[in-house]
């Protein structure tokens, strides 16, 4: 996003980066672990570990188990701080899931490797207490038609220039984007996501994981784990999760090519069985040619496809994802030289107070030739701040509704800027929906997003 971030950057030290740690634990008096091998390939596998506390509440937890074969190794895990010494594996609660009430569960897991057999562990302890619940090595059933966006639409795909659901019918998803996880992780907890799903009736959550600006490059494992946790939280509420590799400075995505390959190989392998995941591989390329962006995309997409062949992938475009308009170009460079990959869409971003009729004309024209997804837009100026331009925002949203182009608004946060949906001090509380906490931008977006969806099923 093109905006002034000095104030937020100054807050980064105070807020701190998300860290993985094991706090002082209290004793558990009973537990159950469901260990599920969800995927296996030559020399590797993916396992889900669901931990249920059947005893007294704990304020910090550590799961311990032994891998039965000497060749089994934990490569990378999520939703816990994973470690291995010899054949003994430990998984400790993180800062956002360390408390485990009686009857509460946490879903963690890992990608592992093996050289011989791959037997499942059979004995687990939680804070030193044996877990005697059942162990299940079958894949859990998928979410059914529960009326949620994911329950109705299932696995998405691109058909022609549209995003289509499991019934091969065009749909539009409407939702919100997080702010940078390194600054506003407190905005994304159970209360806020419950509100987004139930009160806002959002279809998707865009997870904006900055790569620079104290983001992923400072703690790849920690940020990957946080992204995966938010994917799970969105899935539990029937929302789609748009994983945004949020590159902004430097603007050439090839600068982060190796990081992108590492990150997407991990999250794609971990989330391949899910129906709610969409991948956005470069947020806002800028100061770089379409040819260079295309080159980057054609190296990253195969990494995702190797693990997750079915998910939709969204490719950033030139000029801060403006289809080149902000660089004096237009969509023709993409039409004439498209990315060589299937099931992809192209990104378009706008800020309503800065980008008006000429940008809308480009989108109207491009939407007849290219599958577009507005993964980020603001109701204010391109800085992310200033007054809400209601007239331009309404014109944009009416156009996107007409063309069935999906969108995520910047931002579902309490940042001190005009684009934030929530007033400063809201995050960490319990109210994310009332007029008392919504900014002008937030009230406008909630009124648009919460109108009923019309997802076709036949």
Q: Decide if 74 contacts 118 (C-beta within 8 A).
A: no
Give the residue-averaged pLDDT of 142-167: 87
For residues 153 and 285, state if they share a domain: yes
Q: Report residue 9's pLDDT band, with 50, 70 and 90 as the boundaries.
A: very low
420 and 308 together in one domain: yes
**3-state DSSP assignment of residue 209:** strand
Does residue 285 sit in the same domain as residue 235?
yes
Domain finish residue from 131, 164, 199: 131
Lowest-pLDDT choice from 46-60, 215-229, 255-269: 46-60
Cα distance between residue 273 and residue 225, in whole Å: 17
> Mean pLDDT throughout 387-412?
96
| Residue 286, pLDDT above cutoff 60 | yes
Structure tokens at 416: 């001190």
- Residue 145 banded pLDDT, cuts 50, 70, 90: low
Residues 75 and 149 in one domain: no
| 5 in a structural domain | no
Within this chain, do residues 172 and 108 fall inside the same structural domain, yes or no? no
Average pLDDT of the chain to the nearest whole number: 89
Q: What is the pLDDT of residues 84-118, one digit of tens each?
A: 999 999 999 887 778 887 777 787 888 889 988 88
The pLDDT assigned to 132 comes to 78
Compute the distance between CA of residue 307 and CA of residue 294 in angstroms, rounded to an integer.
21
pTM higher than the cut 0.75: no
Active site (catalytic) residues = 284, 376
End-to-end CA distance of the chain: 38
pLDDT surpassing 80 at residue 339: yes
Q: Which whole number is the average pLDDT over 282-291?
A: 97
> How many other CB atoms are there within 10 angstroms of residue 412's CB atom?
31
pLDDT above 90 coverage of the chain, percent: 73
Contacts of residue 42, Cβ cutoff 8 Å, sequence gap at least 6: none
pLDDT recorded at residue 118: 87
- pLDDT over threshold 50, residue 8: no
* CATH code (residue 78): 2.60.40.290
Average pLDDT of the residues in 121-141: 67
Q: What is the mean pLDDT of residues 290-299?
A: 98
Residue 18 scores a pLDDT above 80: no
With a cut of 90, say whether residue 26 has pLDDT above it.
no
Query: What is the per-residue pLDDT across 183-220, written as a single tens digit (0 to 9) for each?
Result: 999 999 999 999 999 999 999 999 999 999 999 999 99
State whether 127 and 252 are in the same domain. Answer: no
4 Cβ neighbours under 8 A, 6+ residues apart: 383, 384, 385
Q: Per-residue pLDDT for 44 more than 70? A: yes
Exposure of 215 in the CB half-sphere (CA atoms within 13 A): 24
- For residue 439, give both structure tokens: 């900014």
Domain match, 72 and 221 both = no
Within 10 A of 18 (CB to CB), how many other CB atoms are there? 17
DSSP assignment letter at 133 = S
CB 49 within 8 A of CB 63: yes
Residues 166 and 119 in one domain: no
- CA atoms within 13 A of residue 50's CA, in its CB half-sphere: 18
Q: Is the peptide bond before 411 cis (omega within 30 degrees of 0)?
A: yes
DSSP-based three-state secondary structure for 226: helix
Q: What is the DSSP letter of 325?
A: G
Nearest Cα neighbor of 248 from 273, 213, 216, 222 is: 213
How many domains does the structure of the chain reveal? 2
Q: Quick one: tokens of 231? A: 């994917």
83 is a domain residue: yes
Identify the DSSP state of 170: B
Structural domain including 433 reads 143-449
């Amino acid at each position: 996003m093109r905006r002034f971030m000095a104030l937020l950057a100054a807050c980064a030290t105070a807020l701190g980066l998300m860290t993985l740690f094991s706090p002082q634990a209290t004793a558990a008096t009973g537990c159950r672990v469901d260990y599920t091998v969800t995927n296996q390939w030559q020399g590797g596998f993916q396992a889900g570990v669901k931990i249920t506390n059947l005893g007294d509440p704990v304020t910090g937890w550590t799961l311990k188990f032994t891998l039965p074969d000497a060749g089994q190794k934990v490569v990378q895990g999520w939703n816990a701080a994973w470690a291995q010494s010899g054949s003994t594996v430990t998984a400790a609660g993180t800062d956002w899931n360390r408390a485990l009430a009686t009857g509460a569960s946490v879903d963690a897991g890992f990608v592992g490797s093996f050289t011989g057999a791959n037997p499942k562990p059979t004995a687990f302890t939680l804070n030193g207490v044996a877990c005697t619940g059942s162990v299940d090595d079958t894949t859990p059933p998928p979410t059914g038609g529960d009326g949620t966006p994911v329950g109705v639409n299932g696995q998405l795909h691109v058909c022609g220039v549209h995003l289509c659901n499991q019934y091969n019918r065009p749909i539009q998803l409407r939702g919100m984007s997080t702010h940078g996880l390194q600054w506003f992780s407190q905005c994304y907890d159970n209360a806020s996501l419950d509100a987004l799903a139930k009160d806002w009736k959002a279809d998707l959550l865009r997870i904006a994981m900055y790569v620079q600006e104290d983001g992923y490059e400072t703690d790849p494992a920690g940020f990957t784990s946080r992204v995966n946790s938010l994917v799970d939280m969105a899935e539990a509420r029937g929302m789609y999760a748009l994983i945004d590799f949020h590159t902004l400075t430097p603007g050439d995505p090839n600068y982060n090519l190796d990081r992108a390959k590492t990150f997407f190989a991990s999250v794609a392998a971990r989330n391949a069985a899910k129906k709610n995941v969409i991948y956005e591989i470069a947020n806002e390329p800028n100061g770089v040619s379409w040819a260079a962006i295309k080159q980057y995309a054609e190296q990253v997409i195969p990494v995702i496809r190797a693990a997750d062949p079915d998910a939709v992938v969204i490719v950033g475009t030139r000029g801060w994802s403006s289809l080149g308009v902000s660089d004096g170009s237009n969509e023709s460079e993409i039409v004439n030289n498209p990315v060589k990959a299937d099931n992809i869409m192209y990104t378009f971003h706008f800020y309503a107070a800065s980008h008006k009729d000429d940008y809308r004309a480009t989108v109207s024209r491009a939407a007849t030739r290219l599958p577009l997804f507005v993964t980020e837009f603001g109701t204010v100026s391109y800085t992310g701040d200033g007054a809400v331009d209601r007239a331009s925002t309404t014109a944009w949203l009416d156009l996107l509704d007409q063309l069935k182009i999906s969108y995520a608004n910047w931002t579902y946060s309490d940042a001190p800027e005009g684009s934030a949906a929530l007033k400063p001090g809201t995050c960490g509380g319990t109210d994310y929906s009332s007029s008392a906490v919504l900014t002008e931008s937030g009230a406008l977006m909630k009124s648009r997003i919460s109108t009923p969806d019309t997802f076709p099923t036949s």
